[in-house]
């Protein structure tokens, strides 16, 4: 009982020990804030990549793709854990937007009606999702209109044009073709200069959805061995929406077009060709560069990947397909994006490690302060030992003191960290308004807000480490106190 009494007394009366308590509090709060922000950033980064690719991706790096994908999709969709599967095309092209922007882009062909159940691409669209949600959340919107807006936001995205045919014909009255028949294109936000101002508000070019685009791609046959500019195919599109996936490499240089249109332009649809040697007519099957697969909720990602890989191998064996140098591979979304996700994970580990090293200062601070207390209380230690306290009991007093410092300090640090993390965006706004300090520049970062959630398992680990560190800091002073001889301690002046 005397141990607890002395621990609580020292905790209340020894103000010098409050310095170590403050150090533990600040270090705990600092690490919690850093790891929560970095962890939140990593989590949003992963969610964005997952929304783009779906759960599993079957792909071949070659731009010529692989055939018999329809048969693969049919078998894959028969698996009980699969929600849907759809082909996708990836290639490169040149765009001319209203004769004002000319640039090289990544071109992705998507069957939007099937992608709905596979990826979260729809949520990246402005006109067909973000704008509808904003209008639905406006308190001035009537209930019936709100319900209609939400219904439209949940509907599958399309490449349909936002205006009637006559509108487009009036934009280009001198055209010799029916411009209203041009297909729609969705552009990455960065391709057309969409960005954020200093307040974080999205700014779009005037007349974006009235702009035309000429896209040039190179048609590649399955036997292509070289690139020839004469194989270039040009097609005109109308911009019907813009996409902000919050992944820079997609938003800055990607355009999205209908899968069947791009497949024809690349000459990757079913082709009838004549064999130059035999003169026989051969039908080359349609090809794609990717198949994206969406799983049902609760499905085992890695088990599904193994089953899908087995199906792909079976189809390739049946059709005598062999790509020795560039095989068809089946990857989970983490494997597909490992290069980018791994880089962010390493940044999180590095920053956490650096702040952890800084926090080691708290251990040395506790050691120094406790050592001073032991020296100062040498006579008191002698009195305690002379009335029957054991060396282990004396050591337990100071170890318990360190434990109390750790528990109280980490508890206060947890509270401070929680308040800072959950109000970090408000604090950042206040700092910008009062002090002119802007750490998180909304013009630079793809995410609109600073991550403000804490990961409970990480919080528990940090608090436990803080408590253990406090006990470690008190260990040497406790051992010194335990080794003091009562007679020598009582003679201490």
Is residue 50 included in any domain, yes or no? no
Model confidence at 282: pLDDT above 60: yes
* Chain segment 73-95, per-residue pLDDT in tens: 999 999 999 999 999 999 999 99
Output 484 or 392, whichever has higher pLDDT. Answer: 392
pLDDT at 14: 59
Question: 232: which strand partners?
Answer: 218
Range ranked top by mean pLDDT from 6-10, 235-239, 356-360, 387-391: 235-239
Question: 108: which strand partners?
Answer: 90, 256
- When mean pLDDT is compared across 178-192, 401-415, 440-454, the lowest value belongs to 440-454
pLDDT at 397: 74
pLDDT at 364: 81
Is residue 284 included in any domain, yes or no? yes
Output 250 or 56, whichever has higher pLDDT. Answer: 56
242 and 275 belong to one structural domain: yes
* Chain segment 320-344, per-residue pLDDT in tens: 777 767 789 999 999 998 888 888 8
**Among the three residues 297, 327, 357, which one is the final residue of a domain in this structure?**
327
312 and 225 belong to one structural domain: yes
40 and 75 belong to one structural domain: no
323 and 379 belong to one structural domain: no
pLDDT at 313: 92
Q: What is the mean predicted confidence (pLDDT) over 148-152?
A: 91
134 and 166 belong to one structural domain: yes
pLDDT at 123: 92
Find where tokens 């936001």 sit.
Answer: 153
pLDDT at 7: 55
Is residue 463 included in any domain, yes or no? yes
Is residue 51 included in any domain, yes or no? no
Question: Would you tell me the crossing angle of helices 338-359 and 16-53 to the nearest 10 degrees?
Answer: 180
125 and 74 belong to one structural domain: yes
Is residue 11 included in any domain, yes or no? yes
**Among the three residues 300, 327, 354, which one is the final residue of a domain in this structure?**
327
Is residue 430 included in any domain, yes or no? yes
Q: What is the mean predicted confidence (pLDDT) over 131-156?
A: 90
Model confidence at 195: pLDDT above 90: no
Model confidence at 305: pLDDT above 70: yes
Q: What's the number of domains the chain is made of?
A: 2
pLDDT at 434: 79
Is residue 445 included in any domain, yes or no? yes
Distance from C-alpha of 110 to C-alpha of 258, rounded to nearest angstrom: 5
Query: 420 and 428 in contact (C-beta within 8 Å)?
Result: no
Q: What count of other Cβ atoms lies within 10 Å of the Cβ of residue 134? A: 13
pLDDT at 222: 57
125 and 215 belong to one structural domain: yes
- When mean pLDDT is compared across 172-186, 284-298, 423-437, the lowest value belongs to 423-437
Cα of first residue to Cα of last residue in the chain, in angstroms, is 28
**Among the three residues 277, 299, 327, which one is the final residue of a domain in this structure?**
327
pLDDT at 247: 83
pLDDT bracket for residue 201 (50, 70, 90): confident
- When mean pLDDT is compared across 204-213, 397-406, 478-487, the lowest value belongs to 478-487
316 and 405 belong to one structural domain: no
Output 367 or 47, whichever has higher pLDDT. Answer: 47
Is residue 54 included in any domain, yes or no? no
420 and 311 belong to one structural domain: no
Model confidence at 119: pLDDT above 80: yes
100 and 13 belong to one structural domain: no
- When mean pLDDT is compared across 182-191, 261-270, 450-459, the lowest value belongs to 450-459
Output 378 or 272, whichever has higher pLDDT. Answer: 272
248 and 351 belong to one structural domain: no
Model confidence at 309: pLDDT above 90: yes
Question: 318: which strand partners?
Answer: none
Model confidence at 483: pLDDT above 80: no
- Domain of residue 414 covers 2-44+344-490
210 and 301 belong to one structural domain: yes
């Amino acid at each position: 009982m005397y141990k607890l009494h002395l621990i609580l007394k020292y905790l209340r009366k020894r103000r010098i020990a409050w310095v170590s308590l403050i150090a533990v509090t600040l270090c705990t709060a600092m690490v919690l804030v850093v790891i929560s922000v970095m962890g939140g950033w990593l989590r949003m980064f992963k969610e964005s990549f997952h929304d783009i690719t779906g759960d599993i991706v079957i792909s071949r790096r070659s731009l010529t793709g692989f055939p018999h994908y329809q048969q693969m999709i049919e078998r894959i969709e028969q698996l009980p854990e699969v929600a849907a599967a759809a082909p996708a095309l990836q290639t490169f092209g040149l765009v001319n937007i209203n004769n004002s922007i000319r640039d090289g882009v990544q071109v992705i062909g998507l069957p939007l009606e099937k992608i709905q159940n596979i990826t979260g691409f729809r949520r990246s669209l402005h006109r067909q999702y973000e704008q509808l949600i904003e209008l639905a959340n406006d308190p001035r919107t009537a209930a019936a209109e709100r319900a209609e807006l939400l219904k439209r936001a949940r509907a599958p995205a399309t490449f349909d044009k936002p205006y009637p045919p006559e509108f487009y014909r009036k934009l280009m009255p001198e055209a010799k073709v029916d411009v209203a028949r041009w297909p729609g294109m969705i552009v990455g936000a960065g391709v057309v200069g969409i960005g954020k101002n200093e307040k974080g508000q999205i700014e779009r070019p005037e007349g974006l959805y009235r702009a035309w685009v000429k896209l040039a791609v190179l048609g590649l046959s399955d036997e292509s061995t070289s690139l020839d500019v004469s194989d270039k195919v040009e097609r005109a599109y109308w911009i019907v929406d813009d996409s902000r996936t919050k992944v820079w490499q997609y938003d800055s240089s990607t355009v999205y077009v209908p899968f069947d249109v791009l497949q024809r332009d690349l000459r990757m649809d079913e082709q009838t060709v004549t064999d130059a040697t035999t003169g026989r007519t051969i039908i080359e099957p349609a090809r794609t560069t990717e198949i994206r697969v969406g799983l049902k909720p609760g499905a085992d990602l890695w088990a599904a990947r193994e089953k899908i890989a087995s199906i792909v191998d079976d189809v390739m064996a049946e059709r005598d397909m062999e790509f020795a140098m560039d095989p068809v591979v089946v990857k989970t979304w983490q494997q597909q994006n490992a290069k980018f996700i791994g880089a962010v994970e390493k940044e999180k580990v590095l920053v956490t490690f650096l702040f952890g090293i800084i926090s080691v200062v708290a251990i040395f601070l506790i050691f120094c302060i406790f050592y001073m207390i032991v020296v100062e209380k040498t006579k008191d230690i002698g009195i305690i030992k002379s009335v029957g306290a054991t060396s282990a009991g004396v050591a337990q007093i100071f170890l318990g003191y360190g434990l109390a410092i750790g528990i109280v300090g980490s508890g206060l640090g947890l509270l401070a960290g929680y308040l800072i993390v959950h109000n970090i965006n408000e604090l950042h706004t206040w700092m910008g308004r009062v002090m002119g300090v802007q750490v998180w520049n909304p013009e630079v970062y793809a995410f609109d807000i600073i991550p403000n959630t804490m990961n409970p398992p990480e919080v528990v680990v940090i608090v436990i480490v803080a408590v253990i560190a406090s006990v470690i800091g008190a260990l040497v002073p406790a051992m010194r106190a335990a080794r003091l001889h009562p007679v020598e301690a009582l003679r201490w002046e």
